[in-house]
Chains A and B, each alone.
Chain A
Amino acid sequence: NAGVTQTPKFRILKIGQSMTLQCTQDMNHNYMYWYRQDPGMGLKLIYYSVGAGITDKGEVPNGYNVSRSTTEDFPLRLELAAPSQTSVYFCASSADIRSSYSNQPQHFGDGTRLSIL
């Protein structure tokens, strides 16, 4: 059972380059999220999606774009990499729990460590 898979695990970019961080989940979860974690800080939400075709901004969306064409995949796009985007990026997914207060926590991938030089 793979859960949430992120690729690549590490990447070094030059300023101004672009790249896509991949995230896929095999749990048939409707909800997916992208977070970034800077050193000594908690995770901050970049973008999220409540289902295929639906995305919305989180707390720190500037410089990023997302798409959700399938339930399984939620790629994060950096168009013009900047040093401030050096961070560890985590993708997460969760089931839709609107119908109950059952325990449906977010499941995280192992992260992509991105350095922009």
Chain B
Amino acid sequence: DQQVKQNSPSLSVQEGRISILNCDYTNSMFDYFLWYKKYPAEGPTFLISISSIKDKNEDGRFTVFLNKSAKHLSLHIVPSQPGDSAVYFCAATTRGGSEKLVFGKGTKLTVNP
């Protein structure tokens, strides 16, 4: 049973345009959500997070939106750059315990020059 779902295995956008990566979750106990970025042959790198008490968090070109009623979050990258090409993982956890992360399968983003 997949608790965190990223239904788009890949996404291709033009440099300068917006990239929107989507993530759905099923577990209502999740209260903290994270996005990780992964380049080949490297470990995942933390990108941005959002607590369930918020509906938006912004950090430079990256914004994460959370819709709790729909159990849906999205990552917006504006403007997209070729260096953003990577696999993006959505992850979720329940805070106050062991902080175990549940990951989606990832979306491979390609930003074309």
Residues of A within 8 A of B (CB): 4, 31, 33, 35, 40-45, 48, 50, 56, 58, 90, 92, 94, 97-98, 101, 103-111
Contact = CB atoms under 8 A, between A and B. Distances in A.
B105 A41 contact: yes
B103 A42 contact: yes
A106 B6 CA distance: 20
Contact of A58 (B96, B100, B106): B100
16 contacts: A33-B100, A40-B105, A42-B4, A42-B106, A43-B44, A43-B101, A45-B100, A48-B98, A92-B43, A97-B95, A101-B32, A101-B95, A104-B99, A105-B34, A106-B101, A108-B44
A90 B44 contact: yes
Contacts, number: 62
A28 B83 CA distance: 31
B25 interface: no
Given A31-B99, A42-B105, 5 more contacts: A43-B101, A43-B103, A44-B103, A105-B46, A106-B101
